[in-house]
Structure 1
Amino acid sequence: MPCKTDLYFPPEDSENEMRYLKFAKLVVIPSIWGHMAGGGVNAEDDKFLQSEIKKFLEEP
C-alpha cells in the first residue's frame, strides 16, 4: 500500500501498476509519514493497514 505522502513510491506509480494485476485493489495510506508509513512508527497507520488487509482477505 502506498502512502499519499510517499516521495519514493508515490500512489500514482501504483495506479499505473494496477493495469498489470488481475486481482488488485489499490488502497492509499492516509498518513503524513511518507515512505515510513506502515512501518510501525504510527499506531493509526498500523490500525489502518490491519483493517484494510483484513477487508481484502475477507473478500470473496
Structure 2
Amino acid sequence: NGFRRIGYIGPEPPFGTHTYRFMVYTLDTVLGLNPGATRKQLEKAMEGHILQTGLLEGKFGT
C-alpha cells in the first residue's frame, strides 16, 4: 500500500471527491504468503487459482 506499512489503512484523500476501486478475488487455495509480500509476489501466487473476480467502486469526498 502507499503507506509502506503492513495492513490496510483507509482513504485519506485531499479535498474533493475521489473514486476508489477495489478488485476482489475468489481463489481455490490459501496462498500462504508472508506478511509484507509484494504485489508482484501476490500476483504470481494467485496465477492459476482465480475462480472469479469482482470490482467494488465507491466515491469518497469532503
Give the TM-score, by structure 2 length.
0.28
**Is the helix fraction higher in 1 or 2?**
1
**Is the strand fraction higher in 1 or 2?**
2
Q: Which is bigger in relative contact order (C-alpha 8 A, separation at least 6)?
A: 2
**Computing the radius of gyration over CA atoms, which structure comes out larger, 1 or 2?**
2
